[in-house]
Amino acid sequence: MAGLWVGAAALVGAGRRGRRLPQPLMRSSALWTLKHVPHYSRQHLMVSRSLCSAGYDSNEKTFDKILIANRGEIACRVIKTCKKMGIKTVAIHSDVDASSVHVKMADEAVCVGPAPTSQSYLNMDAIMEAIKKTRAQAVHPGYGFLSENKEFAKCLAAEDVIFIGPDTHAIQAMGDKIESKLLAKKAKVNTIPGFDGVVKDADEAVRIAREIGYPVMIKASAGGGGKGMRIAWDDEETRDGFRFSSQEAASSFGDDRLLIEKFIDNPRHIEIQVLGDKHGNALWLNERECSIQRRNQKVVEEAPSIFLDSETRRAMGEQAVALAKAVKYSSAGTVEFLVDSKKNFYFLEMNTRLQVEHPVTECITGLDLVQEMIRVAKGYSLRHKQADIPINGWAVECRVYAEDPYKSFGLPSVGRLSQYQEPIHLPGVRVDSGIQPGSDISIYYDPMISKLITYGSDRTEALKRMEDALDNYVIRGVTHNIALLREVIINSRFIEGDINTKFLSDVYPDGFKGHKLTENERNQLLAIASSLFVAFQLRAQHFQEHENSRVPIIQPQVANWQLSVKLHDEVHTVVASNSGPTFSVEVDGSKLNVTSTWNLASPLLSVSVDGTLRTVQCLSREAGGNMSIQFLGTVVAEGQEICVIEAMKMQNSMTAGKTGKERTVVPVLRSLPGCLLVSRKGR
């Protein structure tokens, strides 16, 4: 990102939200959001509202103690519901996770091995020993790790421990893409045209691809998360795809079997949440739009989908339930579909676990899916009928990751969170996280920081709340993807609902470059930066007056601050004057009024520019006077000469410590001692 600097060219003259929740949201309030506090402990856990209206019956007995075979945000998420249900919890952890939030939240905790997942969170022997040691009656696997491992479910059954998920036959049937496709066909679920068997070699792959018609998708039978998947547009790409996909499938899943099916160009990824019990009942809980993806992994999800009409929604829901009943599914699960531009939908796969994006479904239905999973595992029947399932409002989820969005839309970043503040003070905001200030984002685990969810009466309100939440999310110490998330939700194509799984590559064909300022945004930025600069100088002057109170000092009275501001490669002359908390700023002939509390000690600063509210983040304030700010979500880049300030005929150059790519949006405000020249002649 190009730098922004402000310096004094000449100085003239003298001078120097709590809102009540809207009614729909107040009705939907039961899941919790952690509010992190200093000296975090079980005794000092603080929670705030979240967005779900599930009820808890204290007379309905389930389990005395549940072990959560997972970590991070999903472990915290499960523990919150267990606490509401009066169930004691056991956390497992690796040695490096000993001080993690999920460990502190649980009633008991057991170390199951060193940091590598194969030696800890995938270590079935160690987890089974923890179950015996703590006498847990049931296990919730969360998502990932052992959540869809049929061998783990069998081990639990052998010890009379309840697996809070579907039966092993459903896990096995839906975990194999070939078998699941055959079962879907049998259940009269729409399937993508393709070859139902296992592809033997590259020659057979080419023959099958020609029969289906290009383009085709080559995918691992036991795959997931985009691994072992290749798109082929001709014979040569099919041969290469067969070779690379089989190798990747073997290394990732220990299973090199492949299948080939028709590739649906420009599809949407829309999934149906299902819920079944052990008594043959099953429901569909509406859909989630999950088309914003990078590398076949979801980035932004919402519920419901702006694309579906009621007829298509019902058809997809009924087919999803038909598949669930065909495998006697008993738990929460998700049936994923690809949907083309004409609303034709095709079965993709079924995930036999709780999905990462389940909170948006909870927001619009009022159900607590973790609670429902626990009830079903205990043997209770579903409490609801299909006609009882509403679509109440709109919910959006952004996956906040510790990763660099300027590199392939997000390559992992590691580090320690030096400062962390969730935007849960805003209305309609839920944050599912498992971290706190000081937490490490390590190389061993997924770099997700949190799931940021906003809810509104309609899509417009939910998106506006998401924009505000992203602006108010304070994350320091690691690179994060908030800049990309913010750009997606304000993009005109996204707002209009014109999206598909290639959205990111279509909108940003040369990669994500950051926000491009409009002329109005540029003027706002220059005005805010100049006002902050002057506010900083006034504060420093105020401290100097008090510290030297014994020595009479005649301070110059300044009415107008004439500043030279450089943004990117352009230098702007800005004139600022202040009256109390309001600055009047002239930028390139335009006059703007900037008002704030000017609390320079806060990481967040709410600023009004001619009535437009902006949230500015103060990224750093160094002892020497240097200060950097964040505007419209983008994070400061490192590794270049980021600003030059000329003052008193001397040039002060500042460089960042690491090499990085220049960004175009986030402004950097720097001030150095001596850069303001005050004339006692009152010019």
Tokens of 255: 């299973």
536-557 burial code (b ≥16 CB/10 A, e <16): bbbeebeeeeeeeeeeeeeeee
Spatial separation of the C-alpha atoms in residues 616 and 461, rounded to whole Å: 21
What is the C-alpha separation between 528 and 392, in angstroms, rounded?
Answer: 39
Tokens 């590559």, residue?
505
**What letter represents residue 139's amino acid?**
V
Contacts of residue 293, defined as CB under 8 A and 6 or more positions apart, other chains included, come to 269, 299, 501, 503, 504
Q: How far apart are CA 539 and CA 110, in angstroms?
A: 51
Helices (H), 85-193: 101-105, 124-134, 150-158, 168-175, 177-186
Residues 131, 110 contacting (CB under 8 angstroms): no
Query: In terms of DSSP bridges, do strands 415-416 and 394-401 run parallel, antiparallel, or are they unpaired?
Result: unpaired
Active-site option among 73, 271, 301, 349: 349
Listed residue (301, 372, 433) closest to 32, CA to CA: 433
Assess whether the previous peptide bond of 673 is cis (omega < 30° from 0).
Answer: no
Helix axes 150-158, 124-134, angle to 10 degrees: 30
Of 487, 381, 379, 468, nearest in space to 425 by CA: 468
Token representation of residue 32? 């919790």
φ, ψ at 217 (rounded to 5°): -110, 120
Measured CA to CA, the distance from residue 433 to residue 102 in angstroms comes to 9
How far is residue 345's CA from residue 329's CA, in Å, rounded to a whole number?
22
> Could you give the CA distance from residue 255 to residue 203 in angstroms, rounded to a whole number?
20
179 is catalytic: no
- CB-based contacts of 281, cutoff 8 Å, min separation 6: 381, 382
| Distances, alpha carbon 119 to alpha carbons 84, 122, 132, 447, in Å | 32, 6, 18, 19
Other beta carbons within 10 Å of 652 = 18
One DSSP character per residue, 564-584 reads EEEETTEEEEEEEEEETTEEE
Among all chains, which residue has been given the structure tokens 């300022």?
A: 517
Cα separation of the two ends of the chain: 36
- 275 has which bridge partners? 283, 332
Cβ atoms of 325 and 279 closer than 8 Å: no
Answer left, alpha or beta for residue 62, where phi above 0 means left and psi between -120 and 50 means alpha.
Answer: alpha
> What is the four-CA torsion angle of 104, 106, 107, 110, rounded to 10 degrees?
-80
- The SS3 of residue 402 is coil
- Tell me the β-bridge partners of 199: none
| Structure tokens, 265 | 């160009």
Indicate the angle between helix axes 202-212 and 235-253, nearest 10 degrees. 120
DSSP conformation class of 191: B
- What is the enclosing helix (H) or strand (E) of 585? strand 582-587
Can the peptide bond before residue 304 be classed as cis, meaning omega within 30 degrees of 0? yes
Which residues are annotated as catalytic? Answer: 349
